[in-house]
Amino acid sequence: MEKYSSPGTLWVSWFVISIVLIINKYKSDKSNFFSFSWVYMFILFLFFLCSIYTYYVDKSKSQAMSIASFISGLIIFIPLINLIFAILAIHLGIKSIKKIRQNPKQFGGKWFAILGIILGALVYATYSTGIGMCLLGFEDICKNIGLSFLA
């Protein structure tokens, strides 16, 4: 059996490259920062490659719960619905990591589970910050996160 490098190193590399590209895009073009450009396409392409590699390395193991956690975590862009899916992402991610630790030969997808937990936690961190800013009087933030009734 061939030994492949850990998918975690690839994901960490993707994260660092993404942060560097986003910071450079922000520094160079603040007015069109959110416009879809080659930077975001390249980040999505690398994301796709990391996902395929992670699946390929662990393809003989059951990854269903880990991938479900990851996909639930990806629904972070839909206001208010993401609160439900964030709980699901965190729960499935933690449960998946426990199963992987108990039986690593049967279960895989640790990095999908970790990313699902991180994305789920990110939702609650941003909502906590957003609600705090909303209560301090920032009405635009209340409307943007789907809590316009607090404004």
Smallest CA-to-CA distance from 113 within 77, 75, 149, 67 is with: 67
Mean pLDDT of the region 61-81: 76
pTM as predicted: 0.61
Q: How would you class 4 by CB atoms within 10 Å of its CB: exposed for 0-12, middle for 13-18, buried for 19 or more?
A: exposed
Q: How would you class 52 by CB atoms within 10 Å of its CB: exposed for 0-12, middle for 13-18, buried for 19 or more?
A: exposed
d(CA 94, CA 115): 11
**Contact indicator for 64, 95 with CB cutoff of 8 Å:** no
Per-residue pLDDT tens over the stretch 85-112: 889 889 989 999 999 899 888 887 788 8
Q: What are the boundaries of each domain within the chain?
A: 1-57, 61-151
Three-class DSSP category at 62: strand
The torsion angles phi and psi of 107, rounded to 5 degrees, stand at: -115, 145
**Contact indicator for 104, 63 with CB cutoff of 8 Å:** no
Res 1 pLDDT > 50: no
Per-residue pLDDT tens over the stretch 32-63: 666 667 777 777 777 777 777 766 766 666 77
Per-residue pLDDT tens over the stretch 18-29: 778 878 777 777
Give the model's confidence band at 121: pLDDT under 50 very low, under 70 low, under 90 confident, else very high. very high
Q: Which two tokens stand for residue 128?
A: 């906590």
Question: What pLDDT was estimated at residue 95?
Answer: 92
Residue 78 CB-half CA count within 13 A: 10
Smallest CA-to-CA distance from 98 within 61, 55, 51, 66 is with: 66
